Structure 1
Amino acid sequence: MMKFKLLLWMLTKLLQRAVKTNPKCAAYVKDKNVIFQIQTTGGEGRYFEVKNGKINSYAGQTKSPSFTFIFKTGSKGFAVLSAKDSVNTFLTALRTQDLVITGNFVDVMWFQSLVDFIQPHAKPSLTM
C-alpha cells in the first residue's frame, strides 16, 4: 500500500512540474476545473484538484469527484500505474476488474491526455 500512496503523491509532483516547465501543459490545465480521485476499494488513495491552472492533491477521498479510478488493491494500482506497457496493462486491469472507473468519461479522457505530458515517450498512451 505504501508504494501505491507514494506513487500517487509523486504523480502530483510530476504533474505540477509539467505545468511549470511545459507551456503546452500549462495551457492545457489553464481553464480546467476538475476534482478526481484514485483509490483502492478499501478507500485508500488521494484526490486531485485541477483549478486555476494549478494541480494539487490531498490524502483521502472527496465527496463528489468528477471521476474515480478504483483499484482492487494498492499493489494492483501500483502495478498498473507504473507499468512499462501501460496501455495493455491498463486495458487488462479494466477487463479483469482490477480497475473500475466511475464518473464523467469526458474528464477521464481529458486526464489521460494530461498524463501524456509526463510520459517519457512521445506517442500518446491511455494511462500513466
Structure 2
Amino acid sequence: MIKFRLLLWALSLLMKKGAKNNPDFRKQLQGKDFAFQLQTADGGIVRQFVIKDEKVKSKGKSHPEPAFTISFKDADTGLAILTSKDKNAFMKGIQDKDIQISGDLSLVMWFQGITKYLKPKKKK
C-alpha cells in the first residue's frame, strides 16, 4: 500500500521534472488544461495531477472534476501494472477488469503516450 502511494508521488515528481527539463515532454503539455487522477478502486489511495500552463501540479487527494480517472483494483495491482516491463500490462489490466477507466478516453491515451518521457534515462 505504501509502495503504491510512493509510486504515485514519484510519478508526480517525474512529471514536474519533465515539465521543467524535457522539451519533448513540455511539448506534450502545450495547450492542455485539465486534471486527472490515479487511485485504488476503493478510493483509499488517490493522487490528482493538474496539467496547466505546461506545468504539472499534484496532490494526494481526489480532484472535484477530473477529466479522467484510472482506478486500480487495489494498491498491489496498481503497483504491479505501473511498474511492469510488459508493454501490454495496462491493456491486460483493463481486459481483466483490474483497471477501471472513467472520463475522457482520448486523454487517457495522451497519458499513456507521455509515460515514455518519464522513464529514467539509461546510462550508456
Asked whether the two chains share a fold, i.e. TM above 0.5, the reply is yes
Which position in structure 1 is the counterpart of 2:84? Answer: 83
Identity of aligned residues (%): 37
Pairing of 1:109-128 with structure 2 (within 5 A): 109-120=109-120
Amino acid at match of 1:79: A
Supply the distance in 2 between the matched residues of 1:61 and 1:10 (Cα, whole angstroms): 17
Which position in structure 1 is the counterpart of 2:75? Answer: 74
Supply the distance in 2 between the matched residues of 1:69 and 1:62 (Cα, whole angstroms): 13
Supply the distance in 1 between the matched residues of 2:61 and 2:42 (Cα, whole angstroms): 11
Which position in structure 2 is the counterpart of 1:32? Answer: 32
Which position in structure 2 is the counterpart of 1:16? Answer: 16
Shift of 1:120: 4.8
Shift of 1:80: 0.4
Amino acid at match of 1:49: V
Amino acid at match of 2:103: G
Which position in structure 2 is the counterpart of 1:100? Answer: 100
Q: Once superposed, what is the RMSD of the aligned Cα atoms?
A: 1.3
Which position in structure 1 is the counterpart of 2:56? Answer: 55
Which position in structure 1 is the counterpart of 2:66? Answer: 65
Shift of 1:71: 0.5
TM-score, normalising length: structure 1: 0.88
Shift of 1:32: 0.8
Q: How many residues align?
A: 120
Deviations 1:88-115 (A, max 9, x none): 2112111111111111011111111221
Supply the distance in 1 between the matched residues of 2:62 and 2:6 (Cα, whole angstroms): 16
Provide structure 1 residue ranges, at least 5 long, that are not aligned to the other structure. Answer: 122-128
TM-score, normalising length: structure 2: 0.90
